[in-house]
């Protein structure tokens, strides 16, 4: 039959207020899912940004270390052990320490200090606004990330600051290294990072390992694990994943975002099921007429499912438009929002599946209508 689609559209647009409520509910669900997932992915991108931008195939960390930001130190002489492993091209010591920076207006602020090799730049900032990464070779020179200005105040090259009683000089400004901890992030030389934390003398936090060209990274990893049995050895991808997993599961961030997304899906499903069910009840006599005229059950299925899919597509389109505005507002406040095309595709599938599932209640009710009811009155 050729009438299910026109009939589905007529049923939808017959009650404009009810349709508006349906579309608002679906759009709300779409926006909440896209924005929440975008913010979550942005936060996870922040957790592993330094790992992802560091040229190393393997990361050596203290035993039982599960994330980047709160890693424990171990003796730096273990570097020599790593260098002796077959197919290891080079090994670089790398530090992440916490310290206190004195603010110009009084008080102090916790800061994350990354100590890298200034000769090669490995582990250092990857996008400079001012200065050069090698400038940290200047005694007590530091590079400040732009994201730190909100807490430390706007810094410029040549400024002097105080960290743990030591005077440091700002020699560069970078961007892109914002941390999920919200703590200001500073880059400096490995030696300076040790000096700015009195507990780091003779210790490192990471060893960055580059394998020889053509070498199998997994095999080198196993060799390192055999000789460095007091530490853990991760591939770059595994360490990034371990850090994301830590922040997702151990801090409750994943639970919070997951609950919000489930609530968005639930709200959308309830609104769609209620409106489509109401529309179905109002048109029961029409469905009875169709069945009395010999329409098959699949025809009735098609009408109701068409209503659900049309509602889902229109609500999704409205949600996309609202999402663009809200995501832009988030970015203007400095929040990283990551929304790959796979997220939009997945949200479309979830939205349509939710609408179809919500319409099943209406399908069941329509199938129960007696064709003879159309001749009673």
Q: Kindly give the confidence (pLDDT) of every residue in the chain, 377 residues in length, as a single tens digit, with 9 standing for 90 and above.
A: 444 556 556 666 666 777 888 888 889 889 999 999 999 999 999 999 999 999 999 999 999 998 999 999 999 999 999 999 999 999 999 999 999 999 987 889 999 999 999 999 999 999 999 999 999 998 899 999 999 998 999 999 999 999 988 999 999 999 989 888 889 999 999 999 999 888 888 999 999 999 999 999 999 999 999 999 899 999 999 999 999 999 999 888 989 998 988 888 888 778 777 777 776 666 666 666 666 666 666 676 777 778 788 888 999 999 999 999 999 998 888 788 999 999 999 999 988 888 888 777 666 655 555 555 545 54
Helices and strands, counts by H and E, the chain = 11, 12
Helix-strand-coil split of the chain, %, nearest 5: 55, 20, 25
- pLDDT value at position 1? 45
Which residues in 187-201 are b (16+ Cβ under 10 Å) and which e?
Answer: bbbbbbbbbbbeebe
Q: Read off φ and ψ for residue 66, nearest 5 degrees.
A: -120, 0
- pLDDT value at position 235? 97
- pLDDT value at position 248? 93
* Residue at token pair 């000096």: 195
- pLDDT value at position 3? 47
- pLDDT value at position 282? 66
The Cα 343–Cα 32 span in angstroms is 12
Give me 264's structure tokens.
């968005």
Domain boundaries along the sequence of the chain:
4-46+252-375, 64-229
Which residues in 337-372 are b (16+ Cβ under 10 Å) and which e?
Answer: bbbeeeeeeebbebbbebbbebbeebbeebeebeee
SS3 call for 355: helix
- pLDDT value at position 7? 58
Cα 219 to Cα 215, 230, 283: the distances in Å are 8, 19, 68
Q: What is the pTM of this model?
A: 0.83
Are 39 and 330 spatial neighbours (Cβ–Cβ below 8 Å)? yes
The Cα 316–Cα 22 span in angstroms is 11
């Amino acid at each position: 039959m050729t009438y299910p689609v026109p009939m589905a559209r007529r049923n939808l647009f017959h009650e404009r207020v009810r349709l508006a409520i349906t579309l608002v509910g679906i759009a709300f669900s779409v926006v909440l899912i896209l924005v929440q997932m975008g913010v979550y992915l942005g936060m996870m991108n922040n957790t592993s940004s330094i790992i992802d931008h560091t040229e190393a195939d393997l990361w050596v960390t203290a035993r039982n270390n599960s994330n980047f930001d709160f890693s424990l130190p171990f003796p730096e002489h273990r570097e020599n052990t790593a260098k002796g492993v077959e197919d290891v091209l080079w090994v670089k010591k790398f530090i992440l320490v916490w310290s206190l920076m004195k603010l110009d207006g009084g008080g102090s602020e916790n800061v994350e200090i990354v100590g890298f090799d200034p000769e090669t730049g490995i582990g250092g900032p990857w996008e400079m606004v001012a200065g050069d990464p090698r400038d940290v070779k200047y005694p007590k020179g530091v590079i400040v990330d732009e994201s730190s200005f909100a807490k430390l105040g706007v810094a410029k090259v040549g400024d002097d600051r105080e960290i743990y009683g030591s005077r440091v000089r700002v020699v560069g400004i970078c961007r892109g290294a914002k941390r999920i901890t919200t703590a200001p992030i500073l880059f400096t030389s490995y030696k300076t990072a040790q000096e700015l934390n009195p507990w780091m003398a003779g210790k490192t936090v990471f060893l960055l390992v580059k394998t020889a060209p053509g070498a199998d990274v997994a095999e080198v990893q196993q060799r390192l694990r055999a000789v460095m049995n007091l530490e853990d050895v991760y591939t770059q991808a595994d360490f990034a994943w371990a850090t994301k997993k830590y922040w997702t599961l151990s801090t409750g961030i994943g639970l919070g975002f997951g609950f919000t997304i489930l609530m968005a899906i639930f709200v959308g499903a309830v609104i769609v099921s209620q409106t489509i069910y109401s529309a179905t009840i109002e048109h029961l006599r029409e469905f009875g007429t169709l069945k009395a005229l010999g329409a098959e059950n699949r025809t009735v299925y098609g009408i109701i499912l068409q209503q659900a899919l049309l509602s889902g597509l229109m609500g999704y389109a409205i949600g996309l438009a609202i999402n663009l505005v809200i995501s832009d507002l988030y970015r203007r406040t400095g929040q990283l929002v990551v929304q790959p095309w796979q997220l939009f595709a997945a949200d479309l599938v979830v939205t349509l599946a939710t609408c179809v599932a919500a319409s099943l209640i209406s399908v069941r009710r329509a199938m129960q209508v007696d064709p003879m009811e159309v001749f009673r009155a």
